[in-house]
Structure 1
Amino acid sequence: MDERDWLMLTTLYHEKNITKAAQQLFISQPALTHRLQQLEKKFNVKIVVRGRRGVQFTPQGEYLAKCAKEMLATFQQIKENVLNMDHKVEGVLKLGVSNFFTDYKLPNLLKRFKEQYPSIEFKVTTDFSSEIAHLIYNQDVHVAFVKGEYGWKEQKRLLFDETLCIASKEKIAIEDLPSLPRIDYRTDPLLQTAVDHWWYENFSKPSLVSIEVDKADTCKKMVVNGLGYAIMPTMILSDVEDVHKIIIKTKDGMPIIRKTWMFFHEESLQLNIVKAFVDFVEKLSLEEGI
């Protein structure tokens, strides 16, 4: 088996579909099927069985897919170590990034880093902060950008913090919220818990959710168009002016703060590519804010 075979198995294992896996690998479906058959002959086992909903891996196939994932990780580590020996800042930087950071901060950050280190390539995984935290715990990414507190014991840097607010097109009073239409959106569990806790500290009945959407940016557009109010971080609203904001506070009168962190493992700094990126982000955060 070579690197192409490992990549084929891991992609097919993830997609569970020959057609989708072939598209991901930029090869034809017959070519993928032929290579899979060759591997089955080589190991004298059935790797997958086909069904109406795609493919299922046999126990032997499950084992080979697990080994393929490990081999890809080992091969990538070898390439990183070889590049590191030459003191060059090049290779693939693996980032795990929260959805908010992806939408509002990441493109400019990567553009500026790429200008300084043109040989760098990026592999970016985006998700809710809770999922990104799992990726950095498992060392599936070099650096993670997350919002909230996750008990991270390794290296971390505070990049910025922001408050939560009630956003609405027209001025509204906090005491009227239970009777007003609310726009809600899917967010990470820590933020949802903070918002829910604040609500039940202040109101005895649930909010009147009239619209539910997947993304904060869609929610913001709904608010701008006067379809209801929303409870969200203030930074999401930084590019709109005609929205009224009320900072929400605890019973003690303190604003509810959301912190954005950069997480990484101390040992990862031995890689030139990671050290260069961490230093770049730290410098940018100190000089300009991110």
Structure 2
Amino acid sequence: MEEHLNLYRIFYTVANTENISRAARQLFISQPSLSKALKKLESDLGVTLFTRSSRGVRLTEEGKLLYDYVREAFTSLQQGEALIRRRQEQGVSHIRIGVSTTLCKYMLLPYLKSFTRQFPNIRITILCQSSNQTMELLDRGQIDLGLVGIPENPKKYRFFQLEEIEDIFVATDNYIEQMGLGSLWDTRKIFETASVMLLDKQNMTRQYIDDYMEKNHLLTKNLLVVSTMDLIIEFSKIGLGIGCVIKEFVKDELEDGLLTEIPLGFPIHKRKIGFVTAKQAYMSPGVESFITQWKELSLSPGDRK
């Protein structure tokens, strides 16, 4: 089939012009080369495709049958080319983004409001799941971009850093007082005494905090696993325990005094957040615009709330 593609183009042109010489001029090839190509196609298919006369050529019954399929194929190709040109002219594109629920709410969605106003013709699909699942979708080519922490294997991906985030533990002043944490400020005793709220183990943030706790030999006797960071924030605000949250996403609660940051004797290092693409993947103009516009916007996390 592959070797016949050029032959079908010649066949299609001859059928449309009904003239060998005219078809040869359109295709910028010699008449003998064109005739040889037609004979090869007829030989390969085992049929006669044209009847020849002094007035030109006409399709045989077999030729007409083949022509219907070839015409449909070339029409589809022409429509595809026209669609691509039209999309380029109009800036039409489709971007598939994988992101965790938390990063989607606090970082991605506020930016999308601005981006979609500037690029209304770019269609965007958001797939919300854990960052680990986002990386799996990226590896399978099912998304174009992932909004995640910096990958463990940076050589495999292109990473466009947007900012750094800081993980902290928070609680209400009332909970701190009831548990006597204010008089301790001992990291190990805090974790042993308080109810500690963390995300599930499939979450990258939880894995990062687990590594932090293991490295510093921190144990918690009362662990509450919560499905989303939004719930951890809300549970912390009603005094259910101390919650591990991203500092930039509770800026208002900290400023208003609804939550208080628990001081830790062992610092939690900040994490880099950004867009990631597969290194070998094609970056469409829409994807490039999406990343470029974000960099130019340079909004702080607090502004995105």
TM-score above 0.5? yes
From the CA coordinates, give the structure whose radius of gyration is larger. 2
**Could you tell me which residue of structure 1 aligns to residue 148 of structure 2?**
146
1:132 to 134, 145, 161: 134
Query: CA 1:120–1:163 in structure 2 vs 1: closer, same or farther (change >3 Å)?
Result: same
1:179 to 193, 200, 213: 193
Q: CA deviation at 1:157?
A: 0.8
Q: What are the equivalent positions in structure 2 for 1:145-164 lying under 5 Å apart?
A: 145-152=147-154, 153-164=156-167
Give me the whole-angstrom Cα distance separating, in 2, the residues matched to 1:109 and 1:244. Answer: 28
Query: CA 1:280–1:84 in structure 2 vs 1: closer, same or farther (change >3 Å)?
Result: farther
Q: CA deviation at 1:245?
A: 0.7
SS of corresponding position for 1:105: helix
Q: Residue deviations 1:132-175, cap 9 Å, x none?
A: 11222222111111124331333211111122211111243233
**Could you tell me which residue of structure 2 aligns to residue 17 of structure 1?**
none
Give me the whole-angstrom Cα distance separating, in 1, the residues matched to 2:202 and 2:272. Answer: 13
Q: What are the equivalent positions in structure 2 for 1:226-265 lying under 5 Å apart?
A: 226-241=239-254, 242-246=258-262, 248=264, 250=266, 254-265=267-278
Query: Which amino acid is the alignment partner of residue 96 of structure 1?
Result: G
Q: CA deviation at 1:269?
A: 6.0
SS of corresponding position for 1:261: strand
Structure 2 residues without counterparts, runs of 5 or longer: 1-76
CA contact (8 A) 1:249 1:256 kept: no
CA contact (8 A) 1:268 1:274 kept: no
Give me the whole-angstrom Cα distance separating, in 2, the residues matched to 1:89 and 1:129. Answer: 29
Share of identical aligned residues, percent?
15
Give the TM-score of the pair, scaled to structure 2.
0.60
Structure 1 residues without counterparts, runs of 5 or longer: 1-74
SS of corresponding position for 1:140: coil
Give me the whole-angstrom Cα distance separating, in 2, the residues matched to 1:274 and 1:79. Answer: 20
Give me the whole-angstrom Cα distance separating, in 2, the residues matched to 1:132 and 1:195. Answer: 19
Query: Which amino acid is the alignment partner of residue 276 of structure 2?
Result: F
SS of corresponding position for 1:239: helix
Aligned residue pair count: 208
**Could you tell me which residue of structure 1 aligns to residue 33 of structure 2?**
none
Q: CA deviation at 1:233?
A: 2.1
Give me the whole-angstrom Cα distance separating, in 1, the residues matched to 2:82 and 2:151. Answer: 30
Q: CA deviation at 1:125?
A: 0.6
Query: CA 1:81–1:272 in structure 2 vs 1: closer, same or farther (change >3 Å)?
Result: farther
SS of corresponding position for 2:134: helix
- RMSD in angstroms over aligned alpha carbons? 2.9
